[in-house]
Amino acid sequence: MQTRTLGNSGLKVSAIGLGCMGMTSAYGPPANRQAMVALLRTAVDRGVTFFDTAEAYGPFANEELVGEALAPVRNRVVIATKFGFDIDLKTGERRGGVNSRPEHIKAVAEAALKRLRTDRIDLFYQHRVDPAVPMEDVAGAVRELIAAGKVKHFGLSEAGAGSIRRAHAVQPVAAVQSEHSLWWRGAESEVLPTLEELGIGFVCFSPLGAGFLTGKIDEHTTFESTDFRNAVPRFAPDALKANMALVELVRSVATRKDATPAQIALAWLLAQRPWIVPIPGTTRLHRLDENLGALAVELTAGDLQEINEAASKISLQGARLPESVLKMTGL
């Protein structure tokens, strides 16, 4: 397995990680727990060392799943989890909005350690910026957790360049996690240059556009009633139909490279910067193997230029998230 280091942090992870959210939430009913335990352990056997979870995925169920699966191999893996939503730590009730008060951050860390069956969190992200709490206070709280040995590295999710700078000035940020793919490139204008300047790694969630870039979704696709994509503007039938031009571009390159569209989408991301790590999620072993196969796909400078030039001529339709959710991001 190829490895990458997240910026200047020294945190080394597999070049492709595994996003675990969909195993318990967001894409319909939770998958079979024991099947997911088996999948997570198989991922480790395949060389994956970087696993992404959060208290909000469930809530709590995803951390519990990851904790059960990875406890036997804890010293071989890097586990990233998150704080920042206003969730009752006893009942799991979502109270709406965000909560990054320092005392809440520390309480979330203690609860996560128990669910993950571990004595340290390798990478602790703020899930969303909290406008009511100064970023300096957030970074200070995580700095105290790091000093206590309960957290190893600090991260931010969906944060803008200004928030990243403020946090990094108090406690070095190891990685920023945001959506990034050929379908959504919003981080390119300000965030990626900031990360490069400061020596911070970039972790890409939804690197396959929530499944769209696999080529398995079109305007006729229907989703489970509890699948979040039902509420996402870019998954509306008209938007999907218009955006198929991007899938056709990826598919054409895949055919030439004897690869799949998903592998081309991931290989494109890997070729952008040596400190970028995508974390595609899946609940299926053959998809895990397909995604890891992207590491064997070589895109030349000519390939990348072709993809970028062709993609720049495609007018993509639909917002990447509902408006209410977009307001909680810094992008």
Question: 3-class DSSP state for residue 114?
Answer: helix
* Cα–Cα separations (whole angstroms), residue 285 to 18, 36, 39, 45, 268: 12, 10, 6, 12, 22
Residue 97, SS3 per DSSP: strand
Residue 77, number of CB atoms within 10 A of its CB: 22
Give the integer Cα–Cα distance in Å for 277 and 98: 26
The active-site residue, picked from 27, 51, 57, 212, is 57
* 3-class DSSP assignment, residue 197: helix
Distance from CA of residue 13 to its chain's centroid? 14
Closest CA to 14 of 24, 2, 25, 26: 2
Q: How far apart are CA 130 and CA 127, in angstroms?
A: 9
Give yes or no: 27 in active site: no
- In three state form, how does the secondary structure of 206-246 look? CCCCCCHHHCCCCCCCCCCCCEHHHHCHHHCHHHHHHHHHH
Nearest-angstrom CA–CA distance, 142 and 58: 23
The one-letter code for the residue type at 159 is A
| Chain centre distance of CA 81 | 10
Type of residue found at 42: T
Any idea which residues carry the catalytic annotation? 57
